[in-house]
Structure 1
């Protein structure tokens, strides 16, 4: 959303941000009792104007700490607006091939959860992005996109960066994989050719 000031008799003019105290946005933990999470983050555009990014997720799966170990990542998170069941899991869906799905079991403790996702099965399909979804109760329940929204960073992609690791495959050689946040602050995994591989194919 772009913020304007309407002056009587004049054209709307873009507002410039002053001092923004965003401390209340950091590490928020909404109750989720309303069944949704509403987020609004003010920020300055590249031109120095005031804008606001907003999301409304019902339910919502907030990601937190991400640990990289070997050729796998472990993600911790919290769900809002729904409950977790023993039948819940996370699924990675290849963006350009929706029937390519890999599951990861979750460990739940109340609304909090964690899961470990190996990169190998993703890399075996070749280069391409995979989007991550939480199925809180399994196939019979909602499908919730994993995202990081509850802080004061409007665009996570350039701020929250993670290392990539090499993955050796039989059909595609050595690829590299790692997590990243999309332009919508959703969590995905990128599988791509290595710099050496791109050079060899040039």
Structure 2
């Protein structure tokens, strides 16, 4: 089976390991969500005309972004991805379109200047928040992680106590954050059943908010084994919601970077261990599991 966007390119569920030595692309990120790619002119053959981003798992024109390559004035080629170009959420693999020279070619990551993404503070727009972070895949290829969210609830500091988890956050991409947050709640939604929900009230000041999620509610009906709760910020009238996530920085995959301990909890069913974590999509969740035996 092949990808209709590149008929000679086979579709794979995951991106492939490097089998040759493709060019390296340096990346510069801007605070609005745009990216600039600079790469050396490949030796031999015709000069490539486009940089192509393909969304992993996609198969139509909406899952392809073509960026023209032009000289950057320093003997290299440049492609610019403006923040205004729509990109669905997901992982986008970066290719060099070589035309008839042999089909698409994956690129290696070069230098990445992501300083503008650190502690990013989006402006007061209500348009969807575009976040793109370049990263190296497990096979060493260049890819871009993309998010597109409105509204967006950016998770901040988490404090763990014996009774629960206290979290701070910031609401973005709504017209009046203070009004939106009035009487809002954080919902913990169990993945084992959509009907199982626990709520925590929100205290807000401007667009900043805090909440405390008690362990007791998460463990009340727990019957052993791992159980995951996804956290959402919800308006009081139920008219809007935002997934709690941490995407406004330069870390594409937070699951292995922001690691929190599981704390012991005396649950009715059995001794439990509860702790927050970030998912593969950088969304905030809480895991309840059986407490390991003390050796």
TM-score (norm 1): 0.92
Residues 71, 165 of structure 1: 8 Å contact kept: no
Other structure's SS at 2:168 match: strand
Which residue number in structure 1 is paired with residue 126 of structure 2?
A: 34
Pick the structure with greater CA Rg.
Answer: 2
Residues 181, 202 of structure 2: 8 Å contact kept: no
Deviation sequence 1:56-99 (CA, Å, 0-9, x none) = 00111000111111131111100112223322111111111111
Q: Structure with the greater relative contact order (CA < 8 A, sep ≥ 6): 1 or 2? A: 1
Distance 2:275 2:127 in 1: 31
4+ long deviations beyond 3 Å: none
Distance 1:93 1:48 in 2: 36
Q: 2:279 aligns with which of 172, 182, 191?
A: 182
Within-5 A mapping of 1:74-113: 74-82=166-174, 83=177, 84-113=180-209
Which residue number in structure 1 is paired with residue 95 of structure 2?
A: 4
TM-score (norm 2): 0.64
CA-CA distance at 1:25 after TM superposition: 0.8
RMSD over aligned CA atoms reads: 1.5
Q: Where in structure 1 are there 5+ consecutive unaligned residues?
A: none
Residues 62, 148 of structure 1: 8 Å contact kept: yes
Distance 1:91 1:72 in 2: 14
* CA spacing shift, 1:9–1:164, aligned 2, 3 Å: same
Equivalenced residues, count: 196
